[in-house]
Amino acid sequence: MTQYKMHLLVCGGTGCRASESELLFHNLKKEVFEKGLENDVQVITTGCFGFCEKGPIVKVMPDNTFYTQVKPDDAIEIIAEHVIKGRRVTRLLYVNPETEQHVADSKHMGFYRKQLRIALRNCGFIDPENIEEYISRDGYAALAKCLTEMTPAQVIEEMKKSGLRGRGGGGFPTGLKWEITSKSQADQKYVVCNADEGDPGAFMDRSILEGDPHSVIEAMAICGYCIGATKGIVYIRAEYPLAVERLKIAMKQAVEFGLLGKNIFGTGFEFEIDIRYGAGAFVCGEETALIHSMEGLRGEPTIKPPFPSVSGYLEKPTNVNNVETFANVPVIIIKGAEWFASIGSEKSKGTKVFALAGKINNVGLIEVPMGTTLRDIIFEIGGGIKDGKKFKAVQTGGPSGGCLTEKHLDIAIDFDSLTAAGSMMGSGGMIVLDEDDCMVSIAKFYLDFTVEESCGKCAPCRIGNKRLNEMLEKICEGKGTMKDLDLLRNLSHVVKDTSLCGLGQTSPNPVLSTMDNFYDEYLAHIVDHRCPSGQCKALLQYVIEAENCVGCTACARNCPVNAIAGERKGIHVIDQATCIKCGACLEKCKFNAVFIK
């Protein structure tokens, strides 16, 4: 391997690519070549750094300089100044919003300070399309160790000891799952990687596959060794083209290096991996639905038992784990179960990756030890609420989770504490809401999603979610009654209690948790016909303040439905019956005469 003096790591995650990081990469390459530095400076594309808010990211090694929001044209300056002259380009450094100081090293940034990256250890660090870089970071050493030094039972024991729990949402102990599948007798078993990430706003699994695909491949092979499977399948949504491409490259390289295929490490162990594409159905994240989809059947769940560990893909024992779960496995083998178990809370070990989104300053992908508080995540790592607004709630667990409030901020989050608080870990979506968010609308937003994503197999999920959604809509329109609240609560409980799979069993959670924590807002919509956050259009009134109106007619001229009457230089009035609440008058008024009531 060539020894370079300097490495420029350019984020090649989907988010940064959307902000032209590919062109940036080419420009950097071009500059390096034009300046004759190609033997000293290596420019590589990496996976996601996580700090998507400030992307595209360029990291310069070995001095750890972390450039943010780099544009393709900045390549010239980075090469000329930083690489050639050794002077950091200050304007591209992150600015600490509190101190307003430039921060050069990511270690000193609030976003990274409290993070601990295990599953994401290689994301933003290595070139995911180069197996040698993975190997140089202890890649495939865990597989080697398992195959040459450990029996399957020992590996399973190690996994059990580590306390790793499934990161897809269920939180089932991974080692135990492997053990159950290993005990099933069959001529063929399967290892399935669930990469059908479907929560709105979640991109943990995508980032891992884009940034460190080999860790998943390695873990699947280890799992195959443990359970006695020679075949692995990655079920990935077709909407993740970059992850698919990188996974394919990684699989090809692994085969070329003899790390997949027959007789791996000369031990006689055989393992191969195949890819199946999902068509983007949320329900296919449920493992029986996922398996049916892989079999070419309609992606809908069937009742358990039988569990996939007994009868799964093609009716053979099948171990299904999520991408993030797998990404943890090689490190556990290398560093040991005790090390892993020393991180996290009592019943939830290790770390958890969250996709931080919503009204938060630092939108991005983070990984924190289990037991970190919501306050740390939102205010330290996330940098607090955007535009100095007030924190209102955080939705964890995606559409299946609930909304947690101010009073929950100091909960040390793990699988169990989140459930106890009325939400759930889910796969790690975390959407922060501020004072401008209407909680009834938020509940409706999630119900819109579950109504869309219900497979339609069982009646409570198929029809019940639709009815919940209709009732929420009615409330948002100010037409709700107090009886609707009773019906809403009853139906929420019945849908949870009677639905066939996890989708319906959790889909009313956003309704119940917002009713529990923001009952006043429901009352305001129903009793006062008022949306406290001013989000529900039907409940808004645009009004012209007579004192401020100068009669310029701008509002009347721009009203698309001619709802505003008034003479030139006279006071204007909005006819509420005609008004469609488009907001054009508010936008056009230069005298602050129009306001929302």
d(CA 359, CA 385): 6
Binding of another protein at residue 460 (CB under 8 A)? yes
Q: Cβ of residue 469: shortest distance to another protein, in angstroms?
A: 9
Residue from the set 69, 130, 230, 302 that interacts with another protein by CB under 8 A: 302
Please identify, among the stretches 219-227, 296-304, 380-388, 519-527, the one whose residues bind another protein according to the rule CB under 8 A: 296-304
d(CA 377, CA 386): 14
Q: Cβ of residue 197: shortest distance to another protein, in angstroms?
A: 18
542, 519, 460: which is closest to 494 by C-alpha? 460
Q: Cβ of residue 348: shortest distance to another protein, in angstroms?
A: 19
Binding of another protein at residue 534 (CB under 8 A)? no
d(CA 150, CA 197): 32
350 Cβ partners below 8 Å, 6+ apart?
A: 118, 162, 163, 164, 328, 340, 343, 344, 369, 370
Q: Which is nearer to another protein, 97 or 306 (CB)?
A: 306
Q: Cβ of residue 529: shortest distance to another protein, in angstroms?
A: 21
Omega prior to 62 cis, within 30 of 0: yes
Write the DSSP string, 276-330.
EEE-S-GGGGSHHHHHHHHTTS-S----SSSPTTTS-GGGS-EEEEEHHHHHHHH
Binding of another protein at residue 452 (CB under 8 A)? yes
d(CA 228, CA 574): 73
Contacting another protein within 303-332 (CB under 8 A): 303, 305
d(CA 379, CA 97): 12
Q: Which is nearer to another protein, 270 or 470 (CB)?
A: 470
Q: Cβ of residue 300: shortest distance to another protein, in angstroms?
A: 7
Show the site string, 261-290: x = touches another protein by CB under 8 A, - = not.
--------------------x---------
Binding of another protein at residue 230 (CB under 8 A)? no
Q: Cβ of residue 303: shortest distance to another protein, in angstroms?
A: 5
d(CA 241, CA 279): 12
Binding of another protein at residue 397 (CB under 8 A)? no
Binding of another protein at residue 455 (CB under 8 A)? yes
How many CB atoms sit inside 10 A of residue 189's CB? 23
Q: Cβ of residue 317: shortest distance to another protein, in angstroms?
A: 19
Query: Do residues 187 and 229 make contact, with C-beta atoms less than 8 angstroms apart?
Result: no
Please identify, among the stretches 77-85, 241-249, 286-294, 487-495, the one whose residues bind another protein according to the rule CB under 8 A: 487-495
Q: Which is nearer to another protein, 497 or 516 (CB)?
A: 497
Binding of another protein at residue 200 (CB under 8 A)? no
∠ CA 395-56-50, nearest 5°, is: 40
Place of tokens 């319906």: 504
Q: Which is nearer to another protein, 461 or 585 (CB)?
A: 461
Q: Which is nearer to another protein, 73 or 486 (CB)?
A: 486
Q: Cβ of residue 459: shortest distance to another protein, in angstroms?
A: 5
Binding of another protein at residue 442 (CB under 8 A)? no
Q: Which is nearer to another protein, 96 or 498 (CB)?
A: 498
Residue 155's identity, in one-letter code, is V
Structure letter (DSSP) for residue 379 = I
Residue from the set 458, 472, 574, 594 that interacts with another protein by CB under 8 A: 458
Please identify, among the stretches 39-47, 70-78, 195-203, 299-307, the one whose residues bind another protein according to the rule CB under 8 A: 299-307
Write the DSSP string, 61-118.
ETTTEEE-S--TTHHHHIIIIIIIH----GGGBEE-TTT--EE-BGGGSHHHHT---S
Q: Cβ of residue 477: shortest distance to another protein, in angstroms?
A: 14
- Tokens (6 digits) for 597: 């009531």
Q: Which is nearer to another protein, 490 or 562 (CB)?
A: 490
Residue from the set 311, 361, 465, 514 that interacts with another protein by CB under 8 A: 465
Residue from the set 375, 466, 537, 588 that interacts with another protein by CB under 8 A: 466
Write the DSSP string, 444-496.
HHHHHHHHHH--S-SHIIIIIHHHHHHHHHHHHTT---HHHHHHHHHHHHHHH
Please identify, among the stretches 249-257, 393-401, 406-414, 455-463, the one whose residues bind another protein according to the rule CB under 8 A: 455-463
Residue ranges that bind another protein, judged by CB under 8 A: 281, 298, 300, 302-303, 305, 451-467, 470, 487, 490-491, 494, 496-500, 505
